[in-house]
Amino acid sequence: MPFKAILAFEDGSVFHGKGFGKEMFNVGELVFNTSMTGYQEIITDPSYKKQIITFTHPHIGNTGINAEDSESKIIHASGIVVKKFCEKPSNWRSTQSLEEFLIKNKVIAISEIDTREITSLLREKGAMNCCIGAISSISEKNAIKAAKEFEGLKGMDLAKVVSTEKEYEWKQGTWPQNQKSEKSYPVVAYDYGIKENILRLLSDHVGKVKVVNAKTSFEEIIKLKPKGIFLSNGPGDPEPCNYAIKNIKKFLNAQVPIFGICLGHQLLALAGGAKTYKMKFGHHGANHPVQNISSKDVFITSQNHGFAVDIDTLPPNIKVTHKSLFDKSLQGIEFEDTPAFSFQGHPEASPGPQEIQVLFKKFSLMVEDYAKT
């Protein structure tokens, strides 16, 4: 049953709407996502830990929730904000409604909100801390107070929070064919908040993938004799992840092939001597044009990040491979003295376009070459 709910900002702004999902309250950083499809993948992406997502697409919930599209086992977002919520989904793959999924995961949502106004507000003022709550759970005054007291993502290490506790092997390829590479090169994937479609694509291209905790040491991994290291996406600020940066430096020195995505891209850059910064409102969506600097080809990409690598701090041995055509921010790097590269966006494209999945092929060729040495 719907309930009265509020969305309160740290600046004192308050929006009233109709709540659905779990009747409760929560706090987080509010961001907007411009994707027109894929809400299931988005809310289950661990990179949204401690964030509340505003969907700019006006209708959410139409296709329900299915058994295949989640990027992790649970919802990681702190809440969601929509214009219109579809209570009765219509899709042959649907096994439950979005509201049932939210209740199961103890996540609150709010509808009947002018998401265009919120998006304009965030573009003007930047990502803001807010409180989303049922008025039965929190008053307007206390919701504003809670939003102001939220510490924000700057300086927050969330990779260690969402990372797997136990290592495991991933054996599933991309569906529906579930095709795996006929070759089988052992690759270790560091889980900083890894999405399952990344693992499927790694399986497609290299065959054998072991997923490990974010804090697993270089010394433990090198004993496994990996032919490649993958650095995953994840939530929070990359700078506090000293354990990861320390390990990556050792893999760079050991000349083991490295491929990083999103947070993994930022961590690789930090390990190489660059710096990162907090963006005004970040990039969140599936329609972001990115240009390959050498070929001048333009790719439409999926993006989800609130931090970025400062292009002006790259050392001479790291070259720029991709830039955003929205704001010229850095999107890709490659080391010139060791087999390592990374991409800020999401080439696994879940949801989103698949144009830049060629980066997985690039990694597989690096792994294959290294295996021959």
C-alpha 132 chain-centroid distance: 21
- Measured over the CA atoms of residue 367, residue 369, residue 371 and residue 373, the dihedral's sign is negative
Rounded to whole angstroms, how far apart are CA atoms 29 and 155? 13
Do 41 and 15 touch, CB atoms closer than 8 A? Answer: no
Rounded to whole angstroms, how far apart are CA atoms 33 and 286? 8
Catalytic residue among 29, 99, 196, 348: 348
- CA-based Rg of the chain, rounded to a whole angstrom? 20
CB-based contacts of 37, cutoff 8 Å, min separation 6:
57, 286, 351
Query: Is 131 a residue of the active site?
Result: no
Query: Is 130 a residue of the active site?
Result: no
Query: Is 262 a residue of the active site?
Result: yes
For residue 313, how many other CB atoms are within 10 A of its CB? 16
Structure-block tokens of residue 247: 């390990």
SS3 363: helix
Length, in residues, of the chain? 373
SS3 108: strand
CB-based contacts of 64, cutoff 8 Å, min separation 6:
89, 90, 91, 93, 94, 95, 96, 97, 98
Alpha helices in 138-210 (DSSP H): 140-149, 159-162, 196-206
Among residues 303, 285, 309, 300, the alpha carbon closest in space to that of 356 is found at 300
Catalytic residue among 23, 57, 262, 283: 262
Among residues 320, 323, 347, the alpha carbon closest in space to that of 336 is found at 320
Query: So which residues are the catalytic ones?
Result: 262, 346, 348
